[in-house]
Structure 1
């Protein structure tokens, strides 16, 4: 199967456009923008915020979403003069905490910090308990992180083209590891399979740690994973990096080409981190939060923390983030449909 020739422009959140959009995609963008721009019937006290603000991290403590929420919270507290505090509401691949925010009063006192599950889950779950494009209002992207394509050193491939040829030479004989259905590594693997017609088995593990351990051991010789997870192992030589999935090379792995540079165009995928509030939140509250988050993300300390987590700091306007969300939902819906993933 030849690789798809249709190219879709990648909206990174600041200056890139959407490229081609379906009618559904356009409608969703308009819906998100309406949320951002619309006023609210809720009376909004002057001088927001005038009481503590809850930041919801819909995952367990210790992961990137939780860490970023706990980086942003004290900075927002300092700048806005009220306490911003983090609550973890894990479960349902992020759906439980996200639904809590979607159903909260649209007054700016409940804030969501979220990752790529926001744009993947609409295609993985039959019922989310909320509508991503109407029940939530984007505030800003915070950062994006490409993944890295790894192979065990025994794999006779030093380029992506050689890896594809190796897999095609033995259909159904090779496997790639991933951290669970619907995770970024799983989706990147399925997208590569679909683009090149690869007969490659997906093997699920309970998290990124066990997945890379299996690849290091040579049991599942191929893996897409986060750069922060892989960097130390690449340096030690226990895995070989073939490409990164971003639009440009990673500062952490400057010698590793992008998939496009390696001959696999239209394979870009990044993990996103962003901030949203309930749909209908007054636009002046969204604007206030946006201004402060942009300033915080640009500060040296926060930039360093994000880079240490493997994320490129990127602040966006609410409208740019809305467009990015719609673009990502549409993109992963196509991949998930083609992979024939059963809805949860």
Structure 2
């Protein structure tokens, strides 16, 4: 029913907008909002596709970082923007964890935002800075069991993010307590991990570069199965923590009443950009994404399922962000 409402709103907006009779879009600079700090995964994807989108659309495409409140501030601003096709937002996994943790976010995804495409998914990584002694995640778990509560720190990319919820699941499964250190996004998290400021870090693609350079050591991945980028990296289940299947993602949304032909045109332009060999290689090899470029309805279903899944995790683990 959520998808039906979303779909009908989009179609209705398209049929009722006289401007669609004239090829006037885009009418000026297009804003691509990254609702997270610079240096993280969403920021990296925005800046990777920006030149190609600019070329395809024939107008300037401006990447605008609007971090705050786990991505909700920038996303809420887009939800309130005019539905004229001049504003889009790239969301991250916190988009599906925030509803259960922040009931007063100022917007509802199904009611206020139209899905454009799910760009791709990637399992998250559990890493430790290179100077730390641990060579495997079970070693860390054993150390945590022998230590006082919160003696071992684990950084996430923010309170209420998917990394925070995965940490909560690990702690409940093992009966241990790590010191949770939330950062304001993937960029600051990756910097902290690379500079040896934490024992462990849970994050997505922003950590990949530091794994490649050897500044951090990957101990496990959070997907149900091993990823194509890290085929030799064990899963949490293989480390004795079954039942976790957490994948980071990034996708594009627009204000709900944005005319459907505009959404289709924007998506087509983005698909062309992502299909360029240099871009797709950087998304796959550099950021670790399995590229999907889904249809809007499929992205809508993905959001709905993920939101329900992580709301259950929040309830079962009694996660709070205050």
Task: Indicate whether the TM-score tops 0.5.
Answer: yes
Matches within 5 A, 1:250-329: 250-262=227-239, 264-307=241-284, 308-329=286-307
1:204 counterpart residue number: 181
Is the Cα–Cα contact under 8 Å of residues 155 and 200 in structure 2 kept in the other structure?
no
2:202 counterpart residue number: 224
Q: List per-residue Cα deviations over 1:32-82 (Å, max 9, x = no partner).
A: 444454434333333252412222222333332223222223212222323
Runs (5+) with no aligned partner, structure 1: 1-26
1:89 counterpart residue number: 66
Matches within 5 A, 1:157-168: 158=136, 160=138, 167=144
Is the Cα–Cα contact under 8 Å of residues 32 and 137 in structure 1 kept in the other structure?
yes
Q: List per-residue Cα deviations over 1:106-161 (Å, max 9, x = no partner).
A: 22121112212211221222311111111000100122221122357645x7465x
3-state SS of paired residue (1:182): coil
In the alignment, is residue 39 of structure 1 matched against residue 17 of structure 2? no
90, 104, 108: which one pairs with 2:85?
A: 108
Is the Cα–Cα contact under 8 Å of residues 137 and 280 in structure 1 kept in the other structure?
yes
3-state SS of paired residue (1:203): strand
3-state SS of paired residue (1:133): helix
Is the Cα–Cα contact under 8 Å of residues 93 and 117 in structure 1 kept in the other structure?
yes
Is the Cα–Cα contact under 8 Å of residues 150 and 241 in structure 1 kept in the other structure?
yes
1:18 counterpart residue number: none
Is the Cα–Cα contact under 8 Å of residues 150 and 224 in structure 1 kept in the other structure?
yes
TM-superposed deviation, 1:321: 0.6
Aligned residues, how many?
311
11, 24, 27: which one pairs with 1:51?
A: 27
Is the Cα–Cα contact under 8 Å of residues 151 and 242 in structure 1 kept in the other structure?
yes
Matches within 5 A, 1:322-341: 322-341=300-319
In the alignment, is residue 139 of structure 1 matched against residue 116 of structure 2? yes
CA distance change for structure 1 residues 265 and 203 in 2, over 3 Å: closer, same or farther? closer
C-alpha distance in structure 1 between counterparts of 2:318 and 2:205, whole Å: 28
C-alpha distance in structure 2 between counterparts of 1:63 and 1:111, whole Å: 18
C-alpha distance in structure 2 between counterparts of 1:91 and 1:131, whole Å: 17
122, 125, 130: which one pairs with 2:102?
A: 125
Matches within 5 A, 1:171-190: 172=149, 174-179=151-156, 180-190=158-168
C-alpha distance in structure 2 between counterparts of 1:75 and 1:340, whole Å: 43
When normalised by structure 2's length, the TM-score is: 0.82
TM-superposed deviation, 1:102: 0.6
TM-superposed deviation, 1:335: 1.9
3-state SS of paired residue (2:18): coil
249, 253, 256: which one pairs with 2:226?
A: 249
